[in-house]
Structure 1
Amino acid sequence: MMHLLVVAHGSRREDSNLEIHQLIEQLRLTTTRFAAIDCAFLEIAEPNIAQGLRQQIAQGARQIVVMPYFLSAGRHVSIDIPEQVQNIRDAHPQIDIHIAGHLGVAEKIRRIVIEQALLAI
């Protein structure tokens, strides 16, 4: 079964990082599609991407989906995350690691934006 690693930016503001950890707990409760669901952070907070992937590999993961928790395809999505994932691929060629599209390309995001805006009224 596959593992999921949700990668967020990371913040000096601990409440922001806690928000990601809470999301992970909610995901764990709502799906059985993954053997494990964890988070990692691109910078500032821990675990970083390499630590998160190594942890999942140590838990027995053979297939991992990395989900960039970002809205746009800036440098972090297009360069930083793929480079860090590739470093782990190179060190663990027996592990199948896929990078999912970032949140901003999800078809449902348009509906979510409108729904969220309407909540402000």
Structure 2
Amino acid sequence: MTTDLKPETAVILFAHGSRDPLWRLPIDAVALEMTRQWPHLSVACAFLELTAPDLPTTVEHLMMQGKTHLRIVPMFLGVGRHAREDLPKLVDDLVQAYPQMQFELLPSIGEHPAMTQLMAQIAAHAPAAHRPDKA
């Protein structure tokens, strides 16, 4: 399986963050799955608050690896204030701080039609092992 992303591109999975250290495990799992499917793709996670690393730290780390194009994927199901206001402001600040870099901010993952279809399939066809009424 291949991806159309060039070697100078990295993907940043951006999520809210939490005080609970287990909260980040699904985001880390997505990053690991991406790395499994596309071993040459550079993938990193970044968080808005309460969890490290933050977006500027992740950007600096990827820049030190020679990346010049950063695709930021908001891992939000709903499009609230963080996705509409906070993240675009953070990216604007990064564009100003690093004019040599190319930043690509994708829509929130929850807005993608494939995500809507997948969530509907999961809800309608949950395996018995995952149902709360099964011990």
Whether these two folds match at TM > 0.5 is yes
Name 1:23's counterpart in structure 2: 30
Name 1:87's counterpart in structure 2: 93
Aligned residues: 120
**Alignment of structure 1 residues 1-121 onto 2, 5 Å:** 1=7, 2-32=9-39, 34=41, 36-118=42-124, 119=126
Q: Which residue identity does 1:64 align to in structure 2?
A: L
Q: In terms of mean alpha carbon deviation, does 11-20 or 57-66 score higher? A: 11-20
Q: Which residue identity does 1:77 align to in structure 2?
A: A
Q: TM-score, normalised by structure 2?
A: 0.82
What is the deviation of 1:81?
Answer: 0.8
Asked if 2 retains the 8 angstrom alpha-carbon contact of 1:50 and 1:85, the reply is no
Please, which runs of 5 or more residues in structure 1 have no aligned partner? Answer: none
| Post-superposition CA distance 1:6-63 (Å, at most 9, x none) | 00111111111133222211111112573x1000001100000111111111111111
1: CA distance between counterparts of 2:40 and 2:68?
Answer: 15
What is the aligned-residue identity percentage? Answer: 24
Q: Which residue identity does 2:60 align to in structure 1?
A: R
2: CA distance between counterparts of 1:62 and 1:27?
Answer: 19
3-state SS in 1 of match to 2:113: coil
Report which structure shows greater RCO (CA 8 Å, sep ≥6). 1
Q: Which residue identity does 1:38 align to in structure 2?
A: A
Please, which runs of 5 or more residues in structure 2 have no aligned partner? Answer: 1-6, 129-135
Output the aligned Cα RMSD: 1.6
- Give 1 or 2 for the bigger CA radius of gyration: 2
2: CA distance between counterparts of 1:44 and 1:97?
Answer: 24
Give every structure 1 segment of 4 or more consecutive aligned residues whose post-TM-superposition deviation is greater than 6 Å.
none
Name 2:131's counterpart in structure 1: none
